[in-house]
Chains A and B, each alone.
Chain A
Amino acid sequence: MALRSVLIAALLALAWPAFAQDRLEVVTTTGDLRSLTEAVGGNRVTVTSLVPPNIDAEEYQPKPQDVVRLKRAQLLVRVGLDYDLWLDRLLAQTGRPEIGRGGPSYVDASSAVAVLELRGMSVGPGDGHAHGSGNPHYWLDPKNAEIITANILEALARIDAANAAAYEANRQAFLARLSAKLDEWESKLSALRNVPIVAYHNSWPYFARRFRLDIVSFIETKPGVPPSPAHLAGVIRDMHARGARIVVREPQEPERDVAFVASRAGAKVVTLAASIGALPRTDDYIALFDANVKALTSAVAEQ
């Protein structure tokens, strides 16, 4: 009996690559990377992201199914920069060196990205990030998509050399579309030049650099720690002094604290999505920016 099940299992395991051959199974940690991988892989890949939409990827708790997904994965794409640290333990559990750090099927999408706000080991005052690897929200600069997709392309071409040209063509088409969109977003967001903005969490340095937004302070000083009264009073004083009329919040951040600051400073709260799926109508990488740009421009137009 036992022998028979072992035999069946062994045969199925041998047969598995034959079923999987037609499409590459790619696993990403976040939905943002899923969208970018789909843009490069097109219909030659099936991409699954481990973190469901609208769950904070920094606090994700892996599920047993995630190990199964990793065991099947032919390519793994992660955010890196300590953003998805939980993946390391999951990889150790999976025990497949080829998708582990340095393996041929492992992509750290952050490699070659110019990282902002590196502070070594210790935390600078009030920057809201505890990690020494710099600010990890680099996908929020659309220009960085060129680097991220290049990293993905390189890995796809390595494990599926026969289709390398097709992947390259997909990527070029996507980048052309993105570049046209980038011009559109830049011209729309030029309305926010010199408009001081306050954010709850420091998720936006790359976004701010690309679109020249002036984010003057943050409500949260350390991730997950509620702000102290002196800090909040300082933020509100700053907002009055500089005339900041917009407070940016992500959907998972405490509504009450943001509303409190906004009402004290006479500002408007704008909810932005830092990742795909965090808000309705942010289903792919380009839609994510479309939605954020629209939210910001309409907030300014109303004032």
Chain B
Amino acid sequence: MIEAFQFLWPAFLVAVCLVGIHAYFGIMVLARKVIFVDLALAQIAALGATVAFMLGHSAQSMATYGYSLTFALLASVLLAFTRAWGTRVPQEALIGVIYVVAAAAAILLIERAPQGAEHLKQILTGNILTSGLGDLVVIVPLYAAVGFLHWLLSRHMSGTGSLVWEFVFYATFGIVVTSSVAIAGVLLVFSFLIIPAAIGMMFAALMSGQLAISWIVGTFVSAAGLAASYMFDLPTGAAMVCAFGMSLVLAGMLYPFLRGDRPKAVRMTIMAARWTGATILAASALQLAGAPRADQPLLDIAEQAVPSLRRIYFTHAETTTFADANEYAERYRREAEQLNERERRNRTQGQSFDDFAVARISSFLKSYGEMRKGEQFVMGEVRARARERIRWSAGLGLLAAAIFVAPLPWRRLWNRG
């Protein structure tokens, strides 16, 4: 626990800083309906860095940062104008075009640059886990300055002002995104930007309330995502994005209970759950009856959770064959693993194997792999045959369960009949 904390607190502080500035920009971006503008700006900045790299500047130099920033500022001019053009074509379409063209242009440039691809990748795929105090030293003053500027100019930042103020908005946003994407990656920055802001706008009408809710939600969800990534051994950025996604789902489900007609919300929730269950059951019934040898997600999950379920529809012989094959497959896997481990240890310890010994190990491993595949085929075949046998009875059973779960108005249907 203490180790986890020691390991994660720098990333948590960085996440709090990123939530702080991005939740604010998220509210502005949602109000302007330019949801994907951060992707476009980040991609343009990456294009700038690529150009700098091609001109011979190193990845971390001031010149490269200058190129990124210049490109982002040029894009900001374009973005400021898109509102004027956006009368017939939605602004979001133009933003999407900026994004794909910048991405494609960077690929074309990289084709010609030695060692270029990895730099482009590193600009757009930051990893918040490996960020730290060095990043905080840069972003805290930067974000504070941007935040202060926006507070001074708050009257002009509503998205209805002149082109100059729009340019200032996009330019400062570009500066923020250029740094944050390099730290946390495109996916996570997008989540920081949109999800806390969306939740804030769900539950509050005033900007101050929206901001407060966004910050609180963003901080808690970041902490939860980081903790989950440690506990369940998951890649940090992806775990945090999914945590943010779940928080939005939860907020969406809570909304009708907090803001709407409560009894109706409860009724609707139960209805939705029953319809979902009925649909899954009915689809599984059709899948089992129609294609018993194909994947049966519902049955597979149930058997995974409670393996003894198989005994219900396997004959005695099938149960034995299945268990035997499973045991053999596992044994071959273990033996191959031991052989691999022995080969690995021998690289540094003891007398090293000669080439013939290595070749023999290699061919043993190949055989174990084949034998294991054979056992797995047997398991699949046994199960498929058992399922073929019960396709109609179990299919009808599942269908009956589906009808039972579905919230159909039976009484009314009955009376009418």
Q: A-side interface residues toward B, CB under 8 Å?
A: 52-56, 114-122, 124, 132, 134, 143, 193-194, 205, 208-209, 212-214, 225-233, 251-257, 259-261, 278
| A114-B7 contact in complex given A121-B369, A226-B129, A229-B229, C-beta closer than 8 Å | no
Task: Tell me, yes or no, whether B235 is within 8 Å of chain A by CB.
Answer: yes
A116–B117 CB distance below 8 A: no
B372–A120 CB distance below 8 A: yes
CA distance A117 to B361 in the complex (A): 10
- Contacting residues, chain B, for A193 (C-beta < 8 A): 348
Given contacts A119-B340, A254-B122, 6 further A-B contacts (CB under 8 A): A115-B366, A212-B348, A226-B127, A251-B115, A257-B130, A261-B130
Task: Tell me, yes or no, whether B149 is within 8 Å of chain A by CB.
Answer: no
Chain B, interface SS category:
helix
- Contacting residues, chain A, for B11 (C-beta < 8 A): 229
Complex A-B: 10 CB contacts under 8 Å: A53-B114, A114-B359, A121-B376, A143-B355, A205-B344, A208-B348, A209-B343, A227-B129, A229-B226, A256-B127
Q: B-side interface residues toward A, CB under 8 Å?
A: 3-4, 7-8, 11, 59, 111, 114-115, 117-118, 121-122, 125-127, 129-132, 226, 229-231, 233-239, 332-333, 336-337, 340, 343-344, 347-348, 352, 355, 358-359, 361-362, 365-366, 368-370, 372-373, 376
- Contacting residues, chain B, for A229 (C-beta < 8 A): 4, 7-8, 11, 129, 226, 229-230, 236
B233–A228 CB distance below 8 A: yes
Q: How many A-B residue pairs have CB under 8 A?
A: 136
- Contacting residues, chain B, for A251 (C-beta < 8 A): 115, 118
B358–A116 CB distance below 8 A: yes
- Contacting residues, chain B, for A260 (C-beta < 8 A): 129-130, 132
A114–B362 CB distance below 8 A: yes
- Contacting residues, chain B, for A225 (C-beta < 8 A): 235
A132–B362 CB distance below 8 A: no
Output the least CB separation between A131 and chain B (Å): 12
CA distance A114 to B343 in the complex (A): 12
CA distance A231 to B239 in the complex (A): 14
Most B Cβ at <10 Å: residue of A254, A261, A278: A254
Which residue in B59, B118, B226, B333 is a CB contact (below 8 Å) of A252? B118
CA distance A122 to B239 in the complex (A): 24
- Contacting residues, chain B, for A53 (C-beta < 8 A): 114
Which residue in B7, B114, B236, B352 is a CB contact (below 8 Å) of A54? B114
Output the least CB separation between B129 and chain A (Å): 6
Q: Name A208's closest neighbour in chain B (CB-CB).
A: B347
Please list the 7 inter-chain residue pairs (A to B) with the smallest Cβ-Cβ separation, ordered nearest first. A120-B369, A118-B365, A260-B130, A114-B359, A252-B118, A114-B362, A114-B358
Output the least CB separation between B379 and chain A (Å): 13
A118–B369 CB distance below 8 A: yes
Output the least CB separation between B288 and chain A (Å): 26
Output the least CB separation between A76 and chain B (Å): 23
- Contacting residues, chain A, for B337 (C-beta < 8 A): 119, 124
B348–A56 CB distance below 8 A: no
Which residue in A124, A214, A230, A233 is a CB contact (below 8 Å) of B348? A214
A120–B373 CB distance below 8 A: yes
Output the least CB separation between A267 and chain B (Å): 15
- Contacting residues, chain A, for B59 (C-beta < 8 A): 255
CA distance A214 to B344 in the complex (A): 9
| A121-B373 contact in complex given A115-B362, A251-B118, C-beta closer than 8 Å | yes
B122–A228 CB distance below 8 A: no
Most A Cβ at <10 Å: residue of B59, B355, B376: B355
A134–B362 CB distance below 8 A: yes
Output the least CB separation between B346 and chain A (Å): 8
Output the least CB separation between B237 and chain A (Å): 6
B358–A232 CB distance below 8 A: no
A230–B233 CB distance below 8 A: yes
- Contacting residues, chain B, for A256 (C-beta < 8 A): 122, 126-127, 130-131
Q: Name B358's closest neighbour in chain A (CB-CB).
A: A114
B343–A226 CB distance below 8 A: no
- Contacting residues, chain A, for B231 (C-beta < 8 A): 230
Q: Name B368's closest neighbour in chain A (CB-CB).
A: A120
Most A Cβ at <10 Å: residue of B236, B333, B358, B373: B358
Output the least CB separation between A45 and chain B (Å): 25
- Contacting residues, chain B, for A213 (C-beta < 8 A): 347-348
B125–A212 CB distance below 8 A: no
Q: Name B234's closest neighbour in chain A (CB-CB).
A: A228
CA distance A257 to B236 in the complex (A): 12
Q: Name B329's closest neighbour in chain A (CB-CB).
A: A120
| A56-B373 contact in complex given A122-B333, A124-B340, A228-B233, C-beta closer than 8 Å | no
CA distance A251 to B115 in the complex (A): 7
- Contacting residues, chain B, for A114 (C-beta < 8 A): 355, 358-359, 361-362
CA distance A116 to B7 in the complex (A): 34
CA distance A255 to B118 in the complex (A): 9
- Contacting residues, chain A, for B238 (C-beta < 8 A): 226
Output the least CB separation between A240 and chain B (Å): 12
A120–B333 CB distance below 8 A: yes
- Contacting residues, chain B, for A205 (C-beta < 8 A): 344, 347
Q: Name B8's closest neighbour in chain A (CB-CB).
A: A229
CA distance A57 to B372 in the complex (A): 30
- Contacting residues, chain A, for B376 (C-beta < 8 A): 121
Q: Name B340's closest neighbour in chain A (CB-CB).
A: A117
Q: Name B226's closest neighbour in chain A (CB-CB).
A: A229
CA distance A124 to B114 in the complex (A): 34
Output the least CB separation between A204 and chain B (Å): 10
| A228-B236 contact in complex given A119-B336, A233-B3, C-beta closer than 8 Å | yes
Output the least CB separation between A129 and chain B (Å): 12
Q: Name A207's closest neighbour in chain B (CB-CB).
A: B347
Output the least CB separation between B220 and chain A (Å): 18
CA distance A273 to B46 in the complex (A): 25
B235–A212 CB distance below 8 A: no
Q: Name B135's closest neighbour in chain A (CB-CB).
A: A256
| A120-B4 contact in complex given A194-B348, A227-B235, C-beta closer than 8 Å | no
CA distance A212 to B350 in the complex (A): 10
- Contacting residues, chain A, for B348 (C-beta < 8 A): 193-194, 208, 212-214
- Contacting residues, chain A, for B4 (C-beta < 8 A): 229-230, 233
CA distance A254 to B236 in the complex (A): 15
Q: Name B59's closest neighbour in chain A (CB-CB).
A: A255
A212–B340 CB distance below 8 A: no
CA distance A55 to B365 in the complex (A): 31
